[in-house]
Structure 1
Amino acid sequence: MRKRFSEGSPIASTVVTGDDFDELEHTFQAFLAPDTVKLHTPAPTGFFDISQLSGLRVTGIDPNGLSVYELTLDSDVVLQGEETLDAYTVVVTLNGQSQVKIDGEIVPSRHVVTGPGTRFQTRYDHPDILLLRLGRQLVTDTMHERLGEAPTSPLRFDPVIAPDMDQWLTLLHTFSETAASGMFDRSPLAAAHFEKLLLHGLLDSQPHSLSGDLAAERHRPKSTAVRRAMTYCEEHAAEPVSIGELAMAARVSVRALQQAFRTDLGLTPMEYLRRVRLDHVHQDLLAIAQGRAEGTVTDVALRWGFTHLGRFSGFYRDTYGKLPSETARFTA
C-alpha cells in the first residue's frame, strides 16, 4: 500500500499495517479502554493500515494534545469498544460504508464524535477513515481559556456531526493532506496554528453541553484587563477618572489597555467610560421626566462629569437619537 506521508517525516508514520487482524485489535486496545475492545472480522482476510499524520508520537492518547490518523480497511470489520476517559475522537468516514451505535443507539451519520467513556459499536465495509483525537485536558484547558474560568461540568459533544459542519470537515481533510505532505515538519508554527483552528472550529460549530456558555462568551470581552477596567468605570463613573487610573485598576500598561479595548470592544477606555456615564444620565433624565426625581439637564450632566454642555448634548443625541432636554420632557 502506498504511504500517504513523505518519507523521513519525523511526525507522520505508520502505526500498524498488514493483514494480521489480531495485531489490529491489539492496536485498538492501546488507544481505547483495553478491556472493552473486541474486533470481529466475518472473513478475516484483507488488508489494513493505520497511519499517524500529526501529533505527538505516543502510544494511546496525549491528554494535552491533538493527533490525526488515517485508517484504511480493505475488509469488513465490526469494532466494539469504549473511549478512554482521557480523549475525544472525531470519526470521519471518507469512503466505504459504516454503521455506528453509540451507547446502544444507532447513529444516523457516517461522521460521529465520541467522548470520555462513550461506548460504541461500528460496522465497517472497506472504509477510508480520518480520526481526530483530542486529549480531554486540552479541551478542558481550551474551554477555561475561552470562558475565563474552569468549566463546571465535563464537556459532552452531540455524537452526530452537525449538517452545517461541511466547512470544518473540509478543514480537517486539508489538515490531513498538509500533514501527510510533510509541510508541518518544516513549519511547526503553522501546524500549531492549524491545530488551534481545528479545535476552536469544532468547539464553536459542533453542538455540545457547553455551547451555551461559549455563545455567551462571544458577547463579552475576552480580556481580563478589559473586564477589570469596565468594572472600575461602573463603580467610579461619578468621579474624575483618568486613563492611568483605569490602567492601574486593570493591572496593565495604558498602551496594553487601549489595545485590549480596541480588540474586544472597538472603543477606547475613555469612550467606554463616557458610555457608562451617558447611561446614568439617561436614567436620571427619565426619572425626572416621570416625576421620580427633580433637577435640570445641566444638573444631571455636571453630576456625571460632563462639563462642556454643547459637546455633551452631541454625545447624547448620537447615542439616544434625541437631545437630553427631549428625554427630560418625556412622560410615561
Structure 2
Amino acid sequence: MTLPSSAPEPLHQHGRLRTDDVDLAQSVVSAVYEPHVLEPHGGGRLDARLNAVQNGSLTLGYLTYGVGAGITLPPSERWYHVNITLSGGSRVARGDSVRGETAAMAGAAMLVPHHLQTIEWDSDTAQFALRVPRVDLESHLENLTRTRISDPVDFDLVVDLNSTAGRGLLRCIEFIRSEWEDGGILTRYDNSRRHLESLTLTNLVMAAGGPHRELLDRPTGQEVPDALQRAVDHVHDHAQSLPTLADLTAVAGTSARTLQNQFLRHFDRTPIQYIRDVRLRGVREDLLHPSSPEVTVTDVAASWGFYNLGRFSSMYREVYGEAPSETLRRCRS
C-alpha cells in the first residue's frame, strides 16, 4: 500500500477538512471520530487535511496535520480506533505506564475505549484512521471465540502490520480505499460491505496482541458434533450472500480455531478458502449456462461476490485453465 509521492491523497474525492485553524481542525476531526484535544508543536503552520468515508459501521479516513502535534483522547466507552501509520511516525501512551511507537507501514496504534490515551505525531506523519464501534468489534470477537465478552478488550497498544494478519488488514484497508476512490461495486452492494467489514475485523483481532489471544488460540477441546456439517451446509445454502467466518462459527456453535482445524482436517482448506471455492464453482456454472444472451462476466462475478475483476479472473484461470470470458464465449457459440 505504498503511495507514490505524485499520487493524489487517499480518498481525495471525500475531503472533509482543509485548514490551518487549530480549533476548526479539532472540531471537524472530533465530529468524524471522537472528541479529543489537539495541540500543534514546534511553531509551524498547521496544514490539517482529512478525507473520510463511512463503510457500513466502519469509518475510514486519511488524516495528516502537516506539523508535529499532540492528541489527547479521553475515555469514551464507545469506539475502538486503529491508526495505521502511512508516513512519518508516532509515539503513543495509554495511561501512565503503557507506551509504544509506530513507523510507516510497520505499525498501527490500537486505541481502546476505556483508557486515556495520548499520541505524538511527527511533522511528516500521515495515517489511515479507522473507527470501529465497540459493540461491533466485541460482538465479532464473541462470534469467533464463542465466548461472552462483557468488558472492553485490552488490546496491545501497537499492532504489527508485518504479520500475516497485519498484511491482511492492510489489504482490506487498501480495498476499501480503492473502491471508494473508483466508485466501485463496494459502494453499491450491501453484501460486499458486510463481508469486507467482517474480514477487516477478523484480521484486526488476529493481528492485535492482548489477553483475547488466549481465547483465539486456546486448545480446541471436544469438537461439537455435526458442527462441520452445519457450517458446510450454511456455505452452500448462502454462498452468494458472502458468509463470513463469524457467520460460520455462529451456525456451527464452535470457535473459529476449532472450525478452522476441522476444515483443514477434512478439506485441506480454511473456511474462507472453502467459501471462495464454492463461489468460484457457482461462477463457473453460471458462465457455462448463462441466464440470458445479455449476461456479462462482470454480472456473474458480482452476483457471487467477486468485485475485484482482475483478481477474480486470475483465480478463475488458475483453477479452470481459461479466462472467464473464454468460458462464456464458448458456451454462447
TM-score range, shorter chain: 0.5 to 0.7
Aligned residue number for residue 10 of structure 1? none
Pairing of 1:1-332 with structure 2 (within 5 A): 4-5=10-11, 13-30=14-31, 34=35, 37-43=37-43, 45-56=45-56, 65-104=57-96, 105-110=98-103, 111-124=108-121, 125-162=123-160, 164=163, 166-175=166-175, 176-183=177-184, 184-216=186-218, 226=227, 266=266
Deviation string 1:108-133 (CA, Å, 9 cap, x unpaired) is 33321011123222222132100111
1:154 and 1:80 map into 2 onto residues whose CA distance is 19
Deviation string 1:241-277 (CA, Å, 9 cap, x unpaired) is xxxxxxxxxx99xxxxxxxxx859739xxxxxxxxxx
Give the alignment's TM-score, normalised by structure 2.
Answer: 0.56
1:197 and 1:177 map into 2 onto residues whose CA distance is 16
Structure of higher CA gyration radius: 1
8 Å contact kept, 1:33–1:82 = no
1:24 and 1:218 map into 2 onto residues whose CA distance is 49
Distance 1:72 1:188, change over 3 A: farther
1:166 and 1:201 map into 2 onto residues whose CA distance is 7
Give the alignment's TM-score, normalised by structure 1.
Answer: 0.57
Deviation string 1:133-161 (CA, Å, 9 cap, x unpaired) is 11110012112222334225432210111
Distance 1:166 1:149, change over 3 A: closer
8 Å contact kept, 1:83–1:114 = no
The DSSP-based 3-state class of the residue aligned with 1:92 is: strand
1:101 Cα shift? 2.3
Amino acid in structure 1 at the alignment position of 2:72: Q
Deviation string 1:37-59 (CA, Å, 9 cap, x unpaired) is 24334425242111113425xxx
Aligned residue number for residue 285 of structure 2? none
8 Å contact kept, 1:21–1:44 = no
Distance 1:83 1:66, change over 3 A: farther
Distance 1:121 1:66, change over 3 A: same
Distance 1:84 1:179, change over 3 A: farther
Distance 1:15 1:24, change over 3 A: same
5+ unaligned residues in a row in structure 1: which ranges? 8-12, 57-64, 230-250, 253-261, 268-332
Amino acid in structure 1 at the alignment position of 2:19: G
1:220 and 1:132 map into 2 onto residues whose CA distance is 37
Distance 1:29 1:50, change over 3 A: same
2:66 and 2:131 map into 1 onto residues whose CA distance is 23
Number of residue equivalences: 223
1:82 Cα shift? 2.1
8 Å contact kept, 1:113–1:161 = yes
8 Å contact kept, 1:43–1:76 = no
The DSSP-based 3-state class of the residue aligned with 1:108 is: strand
1:148 and 1:199 map into 2 onto residues whose CA distance is 16
Distance 1:77 1:152, change over 3 A: closer
The DSSP-based 3-state class of the residue aligned with 1:134 is: strand
Amino acid in structure 1 at the alignment position of 2:16: V
Identity %: 15
1:90 Cα shift? 0.9
Amino acid in structure 1 at the alignment position of 2:144: R
Deviation string 1:62-98 (CA, Å, 9 cap, x unpaired) is xxx2221110222222222225211111111111232
Deviation string 1:285-319 (CA, Å, 9 cap, x unpaired) is xxxxxxxxxxxxxxxxxxxxxxxxxxxxxxxxxxx
8 Å contact kept, 1:147–1:217 = no
Distance 1:109 1:214, change over 3 A: same
1:92 and 1:266 map into 2 onto residues whose CA distance is 37
Amino acid in structure 2 at the alignment position of 1:117: H
2:12 and 2:25 map into 1 onto residues whose CA distance is 23
8 Å contact kept, 2:228–2:263 = no
2:225 and 2:115 map into 1 onto residues whose CA distance is 35
The DSSP-based 3-state class of the residue aligned with 1:266 is: helix
8 Å contact kept, 1:79–1:123 = yes
Distance 1:224 1:109, change over 3 A: farther
Distance 1:77 1:224, change over 3 A: farther
